[in-house]
């Protein structure tokens, strides 16, 4: 989750697509003109250890958009695919 937030913060669409589960991954991702992501808070997690194949991360991501602060909150589902954790989507 933290690496995906960092990818959003620096505009690395390639990394985001590579870490998105194939069953829900969009064909392309355009990050131009989006908000500036400034801080991530992890609020809760389930699963996600070496013995799990699925997990969730509830987070709050803080951003600035046209000089105004904001935040979005999501409970995300992740699953292992080809040995790595991938983002499936919001619950």
pLDDT in tens, 9-58: 999 999 999 999 999 999 999 999 999 999 999 999 999 998 999 999 99
In terms of residue numbers, what domain contains 59?
A: 2-90
Provide the residue count of the chain. Answer: 91
Structural domains of the chain, count: 1
Q: Which residue has the tokens 């690496």?
A: 3
pTM: 0.93
10: Cβ–Cβ under 8 A, 6 or more apart, which residues?
none
Backbone angles phi, psi at 4, to 5 degrees: -70, -40
Q: What is the pLDDT of residue 1?
A: 87
Alpha-carbon span 71 to 25, nearest angstrom: 23
Q: What is the pLDDT of residue 50?
A: 87
Name the 3-class secondary structure at 10.
helix
What's the pLDDT band for 81 if we cut at 50, 70, 90?
Answer: very high
Domain with 7 in it: what CATH number? 3.10.450.50
């Amino acid at each position: 989750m933290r690496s995906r937030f960092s990818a959003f913060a620096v505009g690395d669409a390639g990394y985001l697509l590579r870490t998105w589960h194939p069953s829900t991954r969009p064909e392309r991702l355009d990050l131009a003109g989006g908000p500036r992501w400034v801080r991530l808070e992890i609020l809760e997690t389930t699963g996600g250890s070496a013995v799990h194949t699925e997990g969730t991360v509830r987070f709050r991501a803080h951003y600035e958009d046209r000089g105004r602060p904001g935040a979005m909150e999501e409970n995300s589902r992740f699953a292992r695919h080809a040995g790595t954790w991938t983002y499936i989507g919001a619950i």
